[in-house]
Structure 1
Amino acid sequence: MSAIPDKHIVHALLLDGAGGAQALDVDEIPARIAAGEPVWVHLEAVHPDTPQWLGQHLPILDALMIDALVAEETRPRAIEHDNTILLFLRGVNLNENAEPEDMVSIRMCIGEKFCVSLRRRPLKAVSDIVQRLQRGNGPGAIPDLVNDLAGTLFDRMEPVLSELDERTDNLEELVADKPDAAIRHEIVSLRKRAILLRRYLAPQREALAKLQSDRHFGEDDILLVREASDRLQRLLEDLDAAREHATLLQEEVFSVQNEAINDRMYLLAMISALFLPLGFLTGLFGINVGGLPGVENDKAFLWFCAGMTVIAIGVLIWMRKRRWL
């Protein structure tokens, strides 16, 4: 379990409208928001002071909305609430020793001139936006910030999906060469990863669609949101293609393994058919009763072995003629 951070505010930035930002002190934040200046505050959702801060500085939010913003588990969605919109998105987990499909959520309360975002775990996309603001080529307004966050989330997803597709292609070659249990487990792992990724990516499309109707977004901003939604749709299509590819590979592995099992069973059946008449004869001549032919003949055993050899050869010829071998 991760430790609770020391501070509930990760950063507070005042956008300058030209791609840069100014860091704000904690005491400055309420006045800047009240003045209608473009402020971005990023909070730690796990910190115990965060709900109190939200209730104090964003009175427009009721207790249910605050609980949704700091909840442990969230689904991607968009909720309109008075003059704000709550937006919940997820990005791939690129933290150290983490699995990408263990997706990290970002929760946002978006107003006309402010954005308060929350995290439970660090998200690389947020760090990317902060670095761009420090270099002076970041978003200039709150709608730009939201669009850039969504776009950066998808930028981070593309390499993960490309790797998934590449691993699937590599597995296809291995399946053709030697489909073993290790490959089957790898295919199952890929399918599981694709399913988990799609579980959180698909609802984000509806969230972005709802964002397009928000009155805080101008026509140009809506076009950017629509472009982000189109990118997400392409990612979903690629993810579905990778999942279907993995499913076909899994079926191919099962088919090859079943064919190998059938070949072994067929071989055992042919061996049994070959030895069936021989076993009958050895059992017949092995009974311990009087009157068996050849009992007094020294060469009877050799003649018996020769006869069984002829029978075995005859059975093999018969099987070949019937195309069983």
Structure 2
Amino acid sequence: MHVPDGFINAPVSVAAGAVAAGAVAVSIRGARRELGGTSHAAGHGGENTAPLAGLVAAFIFAVQMLNFPVAAGTSGHLLGGALAAILVGPYTGVLCISVVLLMQGILFADGGLTALGVNITVMGVVTVVVSYALFRGLVTVLPRKRRSVTVASFAAALVSVPAAATVFTAIYAIGGTTDVPVGKVLTAMVGVHVLIGIGEAAITMLTVGAVIAVRPDLVHGARGLAAPLKLRVGGELVDAPAAAPVAARSLRAVWATGLVTALVLAGFVSYYASASPDGLEKVAADKGIDKKVEDHAAKDSPLADYGVKDIADARISGGLAGVIGVGVTVAAGTGIFWSVRRRQTKDAGPARVPDAV
């Protein structure tokens, strides 16, 4: 659902950019709590979120290269807002998607640069807010079990995609550059993105479930859900002692496994992705809202269209571009998230020692 340049007029694009910038600013402040500092002090494992967040951004970049067929001549791909919010928290999730969209726009000419604010608003802010609100509501009423987290993640991801399509249609209704009935655009966008949402939901549920299976403490949405283990002592039920912290090596193993998976998906599996236009591209072509689309400012980038310039072999060109994209995204994302976490730690200052009485 990457909106190109020319779909939305300049005033509305600027307004969307302001909304996106405000959301990113708010997310930076919120992410400081999610990435360390206060969450660590509360025993929620937030100190592990910074390295995981960079990996989540890289994984989402990789999976977005895997377009899957959803209807005749139409494909879809992961948006990732629900996945990021559930794994690393809603504020950090917005930043993850923003990093991915920035890398895609600058390096790969995917998503217009003047439309970056629209894309962050639609694909980042809307998907995260809608999915995480629904997710939290579901885990509140469902049994406090890990399976409830995966079920809630499926439903949240499913709803987030047509919600994003609806918001795009609203933005188009205000600032679209072509004269196409909004009702037709809305029907087409929501219809195809409900189907895409099913794929999004499956990917999100499987990924969240895989992480929960090995390190449930790393899943932001699963923290505090498990009831403490009870032991019967002297005829009374008491809380069992807390389990010892998992070794740091385990975190490194999870991170390495995730990175290798992202590299394989982007560098090899992406070659077999569907070549059909995605939901927005298909609707734009069918309904005529792409009549004023503009060439991307980075169309001559060495990595434009997810291929390395001057490499004729499509498999090698696309695979190498995917590997470079994963590497750049994980490096940029991890650097940003560590910086945000260090700022939180610095702002918190040293722990205050109570005065002696």
Give the shorter-chain TM-score range: under 0.3
Q: Which has the larger radius of gyration?
A: 1
Q: Normalising by structure 2, what TM-score?
A: 0.24
Higher helix residue share: 2
Q: Normalising by structure 1, what TM-score?
A: 0.26
Higher relative contact order (Cα pairs below 8 Å, separated by 6+ residues) = 2
